Structure 1
Amino acid sequence: MPMSFRSLSRTAALAAAVALLGGLATAPAHAATTDQRQRDFAAAAAEFGVPLDVLLGVSYLESRWDFNGGTPSTAAGYGPMHLTDLREAGVAGSHHDQGSEDPRGDDARPALHPAAGPDVPPQAGLQTVDEAAQLLKTDPKTLRTDTTQNIRGGAALLAKYHLGQTGWYDAVARYGGSGEAAGQTFADEVFETIKSGVSRTTDDGQQVTLAATPGITAPEHAEANPANVECPRTVTCESVPAPYQELPGNDYGNHDLADRPAGQKIDHIVIHDTEGYWDSVLKLAQDPTYVSWNYTIRSADGLIAQHVPTKDVAWHAGNWYINAKSIGIEHEGFAAKGTWYTEAMYRSSAKLVGYLARKYDIPLDRAHIIGHDNVPGTIPSTIAGMHWDPGPYWDWSHYFDLLGAPLGGFGLPGSSLVTIDPDFTKNQPIFTGCDTAGTPCTPRGSEAVVLHSQPSDSSPLLVDVGLHPKGTPSTMDVADVGSRAATGQRYAVADTSGDWTAIWYLGQKGWFRNPHNARVAKPAIGLVVTPKPGLATIPVYGRAYPEPEAYPANLTPQAITPLPYTLAAGQKYSSAGVVGSEYYSATTFDVADHVVVKGKLKYVQIQFGHRIAFVKADDVRFLPAF
């Protein structure tokens, strides 16, 4: 019969740990430099009587066994066991307090820049480092900075949480969750990881393996999700509704009622981070004078809160065309602080996005599952103020593995189209400004590939005239996306030179190292667009709005304003397909006044720079790339 997760005994744990230690002791000498973390897990499991697979599974769900350069997670957690210390990690500022973006992004209404108010102190659970320090009779700094002691601290906590229990499920749930339902989701994910097994090399070169236990089962528990949330059954969700409320001054908040997908197809899912802790952000979501998004996901355990029904339009992306055709998901985290995202949150998010993509027929690719940093400015004046979360430390490659849609590797060698796909842990560009402007960030894995104007590391970065109107080169500031290609994005090859590859990017050649023995871009298959013969340049747009003739007589047509870039003859850009022109007119509280305007004009979504963009279909021709 299947082994029960609750029935794992301390005797079995000790036996397994001792056996592993014995096996490791006879391993070749050269392996000792790469398997020390495995030894540390085994030793801590034996010392505190925690089953080794439980300890490994919990750590994997928290950190994937990484050290992350000693930096805190988005939930103030440190080290492989994610021991939390809010004092050291610091309290965040207000929700998205950087940038001048109007989250609604609709020219037909006054720009919205509400004050977020003070940050609410986060949940008390963000101080487990003190509890572990007391158990080990050591200090919190040691537990934050020493991976061996960090693992011992996590094992000591699990052993404490297990006292008086016959199995380990409840102890694991308590370790990972701030509430019963969320803790169960965390424990279920740990259990699934133990069942399937996993092996990987960590960000600091440690090889760690959790052997599969196919017959293990978790205790059954009732489904906890309320009926009014749109969530998959395998995650824990709660309803925290955003108010649709009339306000003084002929205003209203904080989202728009709609009838999607009947009225408008949902084309995108936008990944955000909160720039604030869970308690603060949920209070903002319930403020009728603030902005809105559809979901928030908690870092510590992956708990999901739904705020706006997916049929309605949230005010989240700073571009009304994207807002009207997308779902916005906030993840508890801080792009600016250089923090890292927990595996528990990645997994909950991937399950939610997979569920929504299936429900609304959204392609699982980086042209449709985008970051807030990939959303274009609407007109030239809004580009510089656009937000740039979730930032360069969001692991898109791992995220798409969890979605069951791995990136890269589908084209033929020499293809004229490539997918950006560096090794996340080895790709460590040195950005600046994570904590202090101009100060280098802690070196750590990144999804971003930095582009140069020539095939040389010493050459300037590219110019983004939208972000830098004076024509100065982009910078390595963590918020400057002007010369940065993101993992999963597809670009047309412009040139090659030795180990360097150039892609077409914002009307320029962007060069990056792409050596044969360590590719950061993989051959891709798809379509590219280029200006039709006879057109020297074509305009590029941040939204796909209809032609003036499409609007009813009582509505003022929205301007079709080009962005300040050049797409010239001979250049090619990856196509995400043809889209219709649409504008959702929703400027009053009365939904009877809301109108979806659909035009005859057709656009093509392209990967133009770090952000997506649109060109008129009549201006381009399609070419195959393979």
Structure 2
Amino acid sequence: MHLSAVRSGGVAASAVLLLSLVPLVPATAAVQDPPAVPLQQQFAAAAATYRVPTSVLLGVSYLQSRWDAHGGAPSVTGGYGPMHLTNGGDRARPTDAPGPMERASALTGLPAERLRSDPAANVRGGAALLAAAQRELGRPPSTDPAHWYGAVARFSGADDPAAARAYADEVYAVIRAGQRRTTDSGEQVVLPAAPDAAPAHGVPAVSTRPGGPAAAARPGTRAGTTAGDRSGPVECPVSVSCEWIAAPYERFGDPKEGDWGNHDLGDRERQGGIDYIVVHNTEGSWKTAVRLVQKPDYVSWQYTLRSADGHIAQHVPLKDVAWHAGNWYLNAKSVGLEHEGFLTAPDTWYTEAMYRSSARLVRHLAAKYGIPLDRLHVLGHDNVPGATPQAVRGMHTDPGPYWDWAHYFELLGNPFEPTAGSGSDVVTVRPEYRTHRPPYTGCGKKPAEPCPGHGSGAVRLHTAPDAASALVEDIGLRPGGGASTIGVNDTGARASTGQTFAVAERRGDWTAIWYLGQKAWFHNPAGRPTAVPTKAPFLTPREGLPEIPVFGRAYPEASAYPAGVPVQPVVPLPYRIGAGQRYVVGERTPGEYFHTPEYGKPGRVVRGEEIYYEIQYGHRIGYVKASDVTVSGGVPS
């Protein structure tokens, strides 16, 4: 892999495109009819039968699945039902030993098929496993949740104390805070808050049984390290389980070509410049992602998060530049997080454990580097722009429309709430994830094959206030013209939860926003809104300019480059902003270019005088020159 191929910004370089794995499960699940016996009662009955505190059973299940059954479809790690019970010997974790599903079947006398398909049986199986874990620890049943800490840690299936403790700590955080949620079957389940539920810390005997929800063998863990081992240079909050699995920095191929991989040395702690966090998904298993990031001729990212338990592996020091965004400017200014999962298989579902672990990591990084917790700084890979016109069509689309941004930002402590009146100039997209189910195609082997009905955080954008009207065009994706499609990987007419846009017009139940240089309409009825009114700075072309260009990177002016550093062209994308159009402003930054001169030497930042503004231009962000615009509503710091 030549440096020019990775650093040009014209080639999208992350695991999601380069992996060619088939999703582990068929896309079949849909919202289910509520069962005859409410799920809340099923939890209470199972807890009573197996003498487990109801709060403990509810807390564990919430961390596993948020109490959802997912229509009987397995997760990416092969877990089923509200308790996320996994099989032994499945594709997610090959082993001959019995897994939790088999053990639960033996303990309850219920067949495994029923444990997979029947939420009530699944909950009973989880309760039986918790009770068995308590017995294995030599502890009697107790009505006090504090006495179940060791059993909860053992239920995680983690094969080391740090990972088990992190899992149990998260369960007890859920119990203390309490939760109330409507599940995917339309039922409301409540876990009352118990702020005094202080667990009895210490895990006297961590489970090493293979096939547990978090046990997936530890592929990629190098000799001398274990999950939770901090002997390596891990940069994680203490509240998560984190290990160091290094991405290689080494030469390969023809020495004359100057090839090395799979990241660059830097000094970002001193030079500054970490302004973004980029959320990816792996489009493959944890095992595959960890194996690939250790290849010098592959690409890299800073962190991988495991679906089963939220365990984290760090691969690249934060001071260095990983190759993950497909845009060299964003690579140099961001941290990349790969989450185990599949974009086109929504019912492989991201676990609550992974969401919460990821949120803890992002909060830590945001505090460390002063990164605002908003959707102009916490990006999906699908929000990263092409650096040049040629790169636009090859940009990535993960984590896609099924990533639950609303829930993620609730965990980040910055939910998307109204901050202005109903007639505001700006709106933040926020449909109700569970019930908002726009159709998509392309989740199966055929492009036209419908995706399963599933909750989504994205709204569709039309050319008129009419659901029958065409979708808006993206001239970067279709230079010859043509409306966007409902393909799951087509981002041309999509606005996602948390993205903030300037209002162009309102008509009845429809709202128009400025998007890709045009008015884009989405259904936003007052009785069931899909956006909330927001206060935010926005910009418009400076008076006298009929239109201005949009850029995919904020590079310095030619005069800023010192001798020996090649001048990078400032090339506009095929997009424009017309007079009178308005776009929400994010980062204000001088032009910057990260130059890596040769192997073994840290790169340097070339910083210019030209100032740029980041904007929410379409589904992807863009950059405009400050000299071209006028900002209203306050200038971001």
**TM-score in same-fold range (> 0.5):** yes
> Match for residue 397 of structure 1?
406
Aligned-partner Cα distance in 2 for 1:75–1:124:
16
Contact 1:545–1:583 (8 Å) recurs in 2? yes
> Match for residue 317 of structure 2?
309
Query: How far apart are residue 124 of structure 1 and its match?
Result: 7.8
> Match for residue 136 of structure 2?
164
The equivalent position to 1:216 in structure 2, one of 197, 222, 227, is: 197
Query: How far apart are residue 87 of structure 1 and its match?
Result: 8.2
Query: How far apart are residue 568 of structure 1 and its match?
Result: 0.9
Q: Deviations over 1:456-480 (max 9, x none)?
A: 1111111112222331211111111
Query: How far apart are residue 225 of structure 1 and its match?
Result: 4.9
Q: Deviations over 1:267-317 (max 9, x none)?
A: 001111111111221122222221111111111111111111111100100
The equivalent position to 1:413 in structure 2, one of 422, 425, 433, is: 422
Q: 1:274 to 1:126 in 2, by over 3 A?
A: farther
Q: Does 1:488 align with 2:493?
A: no
> Match for residue 355 of structure 2?
346
Query: How far apart are residue 485 of structure 1 and its match?
Result: 0.3
Q: Does 1:242 align with 2:252?
A: no
Query: How far apart are residue 226 of structure 1 and its match?
Result: 0.9
Pairing 1:96-245 to 2, within 5 Å after superposition: 128-165=100-137, 166=139, 167-180=147-160, 181-221=162-202, 225-226=229-230, 228-245=233-250
> Match for residue 446 of structure 1?
456
* SS at structure 1 position matched to 2:513: strand
Q: Does 1:476 align with 2:486?
A: yes
The equivalent position to 2:568 in structure 1, one of 547, 558, 577, is: 558
Q: 1:195 to 1:123 in 2, by over 3 A?
A: farther
Which AA in structure 2 matches 1:41?
A: F
Which AA in structure 1 matches 2:84?
A: H
* SS at structure 2 position matched to 1:401: helix
CA RMSD of aligned residues (A): 2.3
* SS at structure 2 position matched to 1:474: coil
* SS at structure 2 position matched to 1:170: helix
Structure 1 residues without counterparts, runs of 5 or longer:
1-31, 92-120
Query: How far apart are residue 127 of structure 1 and its match?
Result: 5.1
Aligned-partner Cα distance in 2 for 1:161–1:143:
19
Query: How far apart are residue 382 of structure 1 and its match?
Result: 1.1
Q: Does 1:519 align with 2:529?
A: yes
Q: 1:195 to 1:34 in 2, by over 3 A?
A: farther
Which AA in structure 2 matches 1:208?
A: V
* SS at structure 2 position matched to 1:384: helix
Q: Deviations over 1:443-495 (max 9, x none)?
A: 12111111111111111111112222331211111111111101111000111
Q: Deviations over 1:8-53 (max 9, x none)?
A: xxxxxxxxxxxxxxxxxxxxxxxx9797010111122222332211
Q: Deviations over 1:39-89 (max 9, x none)?
A: 11112222233221111111000111112344332323222111235988x
**TM-score, L = length of structure 1:** 0.86
Aligned-partner Cα distance in 2 for 1:270–1:280:
20
> Match for residue 107 of structure 1?
none
> Match for residue 509 of structure 2?
499
* SS at structure 1 position matched to 2:270: coil
Contact 1:34–1:207 (8 Å) recurs in 2? no
Aligned-partner Cα distance in 2 for 1:618–1:450:
33
**TM-score, L = length of structure 2:** 0.84
Structure 2 residues without counterparts, runs of 5 or longer:
1-33, 140-146, 204-226
> Match for residue 84 of structure 1?
86
Query: How far apart are residue 220 of structure 1 and its match?
Result: 2.7
Contact 2:150–2:202 (8 Å) recurs in 1? no
Moved more, 149-158 or 392-401: 149-158
Identity %: 51
> Match for residue 44 of structure 1?
46
Which AA in structure 2 matches 1:214?
A: P
The equivalent position to 1:458 in structure 2, one of 444, 450, 468, is: 468
Query: How far apart are residue 321 of structure 1 and its match?
Result: 0.3
Aligned-partner Cα distance in 1 for 2:497–2:127:
35
Aligned-partner Cα distance in 2 for 1:503–1:154:
47
The equivalent position to 1:612 in structure 2, one of 609, 618, 621, is: 621
Moved more, 580-589 or 494-503: 580-589
Which AA in structure 2 matches 1:235?
A: V
Aligned-partner Cα distance in 1 for 2:476–2:577:
14
Contact 2:300–2:324 (8 Å) recurs in 1? yes
